């Protein structure tokens, strides 16, 4: 498998493990020192794979989520590093019925270690967010 295809499969695994709440498998998509930045969509910067997974489990552990990534732009910058931009769409439904339908982009960097690609940095930017019952989350 070529490197670009491996990165596409890595991102697919990221979305699948988030939506199925497979936190142990999600941990494996990240470099140990990953940096996750969601400040542009009202979140924060989180560093470290275990911390990122713990944060996601806390925030969306009881939320039904559907994430889709589209139209990747992946650039190999060396034999072991790459950059990527993904168009994204997500839908979240909280137990009380509140819903979010979002659109935006993931800007990411990747690192290959021991033959496996991992997410090194991840930044989520949103172009649009539609909320239903936002005060009831």
pLDDT band at 65 (very low <50, low <70, confident <90, very high): very high
Question: What is the spatial distance between Cα 62 and Cα 60, in angstroms, rounded to a whole number?
Answer: 5
Tens of pLDDT, residues 95-132: 999 999 999 999 999 999 999 999 999 999 999 999 99
Strand blocks (E) in the chain: 30-37, 45-47, 64-76, 81-93, 99-113, 116-132
The two beta strands, 116-132 and 30-37, are parallel
The pLDDT value recorded for residue 55 is: 95
Q: For the chain, what percent of residues have pLDDT higher than 70?
A: 96
Q: For the chain, what percent of residues have pLDDT higher than 90?
A: 92
Domains by residue range for the chain, with CATH? 3-136 (3.10.450.50)
pLDDT band at 41 (very low <50, low <70, confident <90, very high): confident
Whether pLDDT at 43 is above 90 = no
Tens of pLDDT, residues 7-23: 999 999 999 999 999 99
Residue 127: count other Cβ atoms within 10 Å of its Cβ. Answer: 11
The pLDDT value recorded for residue 114 is: 93
DSSP symbols for 67-84 = EEEEEEEEEE-SSSEEEE
Whether pLDDT at 63 is above 90 = yes
Whether pLDDT at 4 is above 80 = yes
Kind plus residue range of the DSSP H or E element containing 42 = none
- CB neighbour class for 65 (10 Å; exposed up to 12, middle 13-18, buried from 19): middle
Sheet of 99-113: strands edge to edge?
Answer: 45-47, 30-37, 116-132, 99-113, 81-93, 64-76
Q: What is the mean pLDDT of the chain?
A: 95
The pLDDT value recorded for residue 135 is: 66
The 3-state DSSP class for residue 44 equals coil
């Amino acid at each position: 498998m070529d490197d670009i295809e491996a990165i596409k499969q890595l991102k697919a695994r990221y979305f699948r493990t988030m939506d199925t709440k497979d936190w142990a498998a999600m941990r494996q998509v990240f470099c140990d020192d990953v940096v996750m930045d969601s400040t542009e969509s009202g979140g924060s910067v989180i560093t470290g794979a275990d911390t990122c997974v713990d944060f996601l489990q806390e925030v969306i552990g009881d939320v039904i989520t559907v994430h889709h990534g589209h139209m990747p732009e992946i650039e190999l910058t060396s034999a072991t590093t790459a950059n990527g931009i993904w168009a994204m769409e997500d839908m979240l439904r909280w137990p009380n019925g509140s819903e979010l339908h979002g659109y935006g982009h993931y800007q990411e960097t990747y690192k290959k270690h021991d033959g496996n690609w991992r997410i090194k940095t991840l930044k989520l930017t949103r172009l649009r967010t539609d909320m239903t019952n936002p005060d009831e989350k």
